[in-house]
């Protein structure tokens, strides 16, 4: 992704996941924003073609455009309250969480918490979790006993981009990979 598209992607993540009010943007309860309004209010220059390119080429598939092509939203990662309309689904036996080693003792004590987000994010494979964890420092990948948690009543959701979401993972369900 070239530098301008990366800048646009970061901008979209900021306004669609965390601070739509920073540019006076309105999101509906499901997190959708009107694309024309977004382009008009953006504090960086974005063309419709650039926006579409970011949606199509983002390696993490962070964004979705509505079927009618009029709206855009982030697929997950919100720190603001949105209802993505995801239905609970049965997860695989294990999922993975990439983080920095400096957080390991706290995770061992408290489990995985969403912190400022709506959900804990889990990856379907070690490679993805490793990539996520590298953003935070020296990486450690944790294995989460997802199926066992599901069987105990924990709800799991799968975002459009394949990221698994849950509200909490207790420490006893986490192992270092």
93-148 tens-digit pLDDT: 999 999 999 999 999 999 999 988 899 999 999 999 999 899 889 999 999 999 99
Rounded to whole angstroms, the Cα distance separating 36 from 5 reads 18
pLDDT given for residue 80 in this prediction: 93
Task: Report how far apart the first and last C-alpha atoms of the chain are (Å, whole number).
Answer: 31
- Burial-class residue 60 by CB neighbours within 10 Å (0-12, 13-18, 19+): middle
The percentage of the chain sitting over the pLDDT mark of 90, rounded to a whole number, equals: 87
Cα dist. 68→21, 101, 133 in Å?
24, 43, 35
CA distance 45 to 60: 23
Mean pLDDT of 67-84: 93
Give CA–CA dist 95/143, Å, rounded: 6
Structural domains of the chain sorted by starting position, each given as residue range(s) with its CATH number in brackets: 3-74 (1.10.10.970), 95-176 (3.20.170.30)
**Mean pLDDT, rounded, for 163-177:** 95
- Flag whether the pTM goes above 0.85: no
1-31 pLDDT, tens per residue? Answer: 689 999 999 999 999 999 999 999 999 999 9
């Amino acid at each position: 992704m070239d530098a301008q598209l990366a800048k646009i992607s970061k901008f979209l993540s900021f306004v669609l996941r965390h601070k739509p009010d920073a540019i006076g943007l309105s999101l509906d309860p499901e997190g959708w924003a009107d694309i024309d309004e977004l382009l008009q209010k953006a504090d960086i220059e974005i063309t419709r073609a650039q926006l579409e390119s970011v949606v199509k080429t983002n390696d993490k598939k962070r964004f979705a455009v509505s079927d009618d092509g009029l709206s855009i939203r982030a697929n997950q990662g919100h720190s603001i309250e949105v209802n993505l309309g995801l239905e609970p689904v049965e997860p695989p036996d294990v999922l993975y969480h990439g983080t920095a080693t400096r957080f390991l003792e706290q995770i061992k004590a408290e489990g995985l918490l969403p912190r400022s987000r709506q959900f804990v994010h889990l990856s379907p494979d070690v490679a993805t979790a490793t990539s996520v964890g590298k953003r935070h420092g020296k990486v450690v990948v944790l294995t989460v006993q997802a199926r066992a948690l599901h069987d105990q009543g924990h709800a799991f959701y799968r975002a459009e981009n394949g990221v698994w979401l849950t509200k909490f993972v207790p420490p006893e369900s986490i192992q270092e990979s």
